[in-house]
Amino acid sequence: MRNSTYLKMGLNMLLHSKLRSWLTIIGIVIGIGSVVGILSLGDAMEEQVQSRLSEMDLTLITISPGYTRASSNMPGPGGGPGGTTTDVELTDDDVEALQGLDGIEYIAGQISGSEPVVYAGENATMTITGVDPQVWQYMTTLETQSGRLLEPSDKYVAVIGSGVATETYDQEIGVNQVITVNGKSVRVIGILTEEGQGDRSIYMPIDAAVNIIDDAEEDVYDTITVKAKSEDLVDGLMEDIEDKLMVSRHIIREDDQDFSVSASKSMAESVTEMTSSMTLFLGAIAAVSLLVGAVGIANTMFTSVLEKTKEIGTMKAIGAKNRDILMIFIFNSAMVGFVGGVLGVILGAFVSTLFPYLGMTMMGGGSDSGLYLAPDLMAFGLILAIVIGVGSGVVPAYRASKLKPVDALRYE
């Protein structure tokens, strides 16, 4: 027989067992739809993560007061397991101690606090961040949509986030407008582009911020930020920073460490690994439904073989070979997988369009993040369905092909 004959007979079997076939197909549709939808969500999440990571400066290292003991059960000087020290400070002495390290391009201390900000008679509490205007423009990835970033000669001026400029007050704040921060007049010299990070913040020179932020002290920082000369130097530089600060702060035992060193590069790698693991986990759950669909196809095929035993005997009696019977049932099971795959891909595409509206996006991507079904993912879903269909039909088809004509014709 020709392949076209196998296809025609397989299709005929599918069409003449409508209810059973469609119930079987539904299992494949759900399985393929789940796998395709979840993989589509995983691709979209990974794309958003990579997009955000491309905007990050992976050469930045942050030093914070207190030591996080997330993986240790030993009590720290500031609290029990998992706690952090709270009575330590980062000072200008720490900055001076680190300035001699190789691999550092820029280093600066930073302070922050929440203070009342008045504009056009309206009052709102905003986050004020004091940065070193000497180097901030070289260390930050923030960009202005109007005005400029801080420069070394600036003092009582501010660069504000787009949310502060357009959403906080009834009247929009523009460049060169004056706001009152904790009773001090501050001129706005720049407005940042909208990007989530920093939209609700106000950046000022640290010398002016010390006089504005309550409890702020001169030469005492909330964090120290280091920019490495290259991304490859980050890991080694983190170790050098820890060693240097341990010596300069006269800390002998690691248990007494009262500062933490973290890198944006490490956080980026953790987010990427977490996203991949979550996609793999969800995909494995969806694969269970595929297994159920495969069992359904095998069950349908076994039933079909039993129903058509006499027909198989007749075909063999008039000259059909074992291979012909085998291929007819294989084509039939493949068509069940194909139809289930097509409908499953359509279901997966439909589910993918719903994800943004269900809030299932990473990092606040919103509905504009654009979950879509890539052509290669559609092809993967279709091929997977056909493979499952063929794999599930192999055993029933083999048993059908091995039936003896006499036994098949006598079957009741």
Question: For the residues 36-57, what does the mean pLDDT come to?
Answer: 78
pLDDT at 87: 67
CA distance 138 to 133: 9
Instruction: Tell whether the model's pLDDT for residue 71 goes beyond 70.
Output: no
Instruction: Tell whether the model's pLDDT for residue 234 goes beyond 70.
Output: yes
* Half-sphere exposure in the Cβ direction for 355 (13 Å, CA): 29
Band the pLDDT of 128: cuts 50, 70, 90: very high
Residue 310 or residue 410, greater confidence = 310
Instruction: Tell whether the model's pLDDT for residue 329 goes beyond 50.
Output: yes
What are the strands, taking DSSP E only, across 81-199? Answer: 90-91, 104-119, 122-131, 144-147, 157-160, 178-181, 184-192
Question: For the residues 159-175, what does the mean pLDDT come to?
Answer: 91
pLDDT at 68: 64
Instruction: Tell whether the model's pLDDT for residue 266 goes beyond 90.
Output: no
Question: For the residues 206-214, what does the mean pLDDT come to?
Answer: 91
Question: For the residues 236-261, what does the mean pLDDT come to?
Answer: 88
Band the pLDDT of 226: cuts 50, 70, 90: very high
CB-based burial, 112-136: b 16+ in 10 Å, e otherwise: bbebebebeeeeeebbbbbbbbebb
Q: Where are the alpha helices (DSSP H) in 256-365?
A: 264-307, 309-317, 322-354
Question: For the residues 5-28, what does the mean pLDDT come to?
Answer: 75
DSSP codes of every residue in 28-44:
HHHHHHHHHHHHHHHHH
In this predicted structure, which of 205-214, 289-298, 359-368 has the lowest mean pLDDT? 359-368
Instruction: Tell whether the model's pLDDT for residue 77 goes beyond 70.
Output: no
Band the pLDDT of 376: cuts 50, 70, 90: confident
Residues facing 255 on adjacent strands = none
E strand or H helix that includes residue 201: strand 201-205
Band the pLDDT of 132: cuts 50, 70, 90: very high
Whole-Å CA distances, 291 to 31, 203, 240, 272, 388:
8, 56, 52, 29, 9
In this predicted structure, which of 12-21, 70-79, 365-374 has the lowest mean pLDDT? 70-79
pLDDT at 49: 77
pTM given for the model: 0.64
Band the pLDDT of 135: cuts 50, 70, 90: very high
CA distance 178 to 48: 37
pLDDT at 111: 93
Which percentage of the chain shows pLDDT scores above 70?
A: 88
CA distance 394 to 331: 10
The full set of domain ranges for the chain reads: 3-53+270-410, 105-230
Instruction: Tell whether the model's pLDDT for residue 288 goes beyond 60.
Output: yes
pLDDT at 187: 95
Instruction: Tell whether the model's pLDDT for residue 402 goes beyond 80.
Output: yes
For CA atoms 110, 113, 118, 123, give the dihedral sign: positive
pLDDT at 411: 64
Band the pLDDT of 360: cuts 50, 70, 90: low
CA distance 288 to 79: 45
Instruction: Tell whether the model's pLDDT for residue 35 goes beyond 70.
Output: yes
CA distance 280 to 286: 10
pLDDT at 131: 94
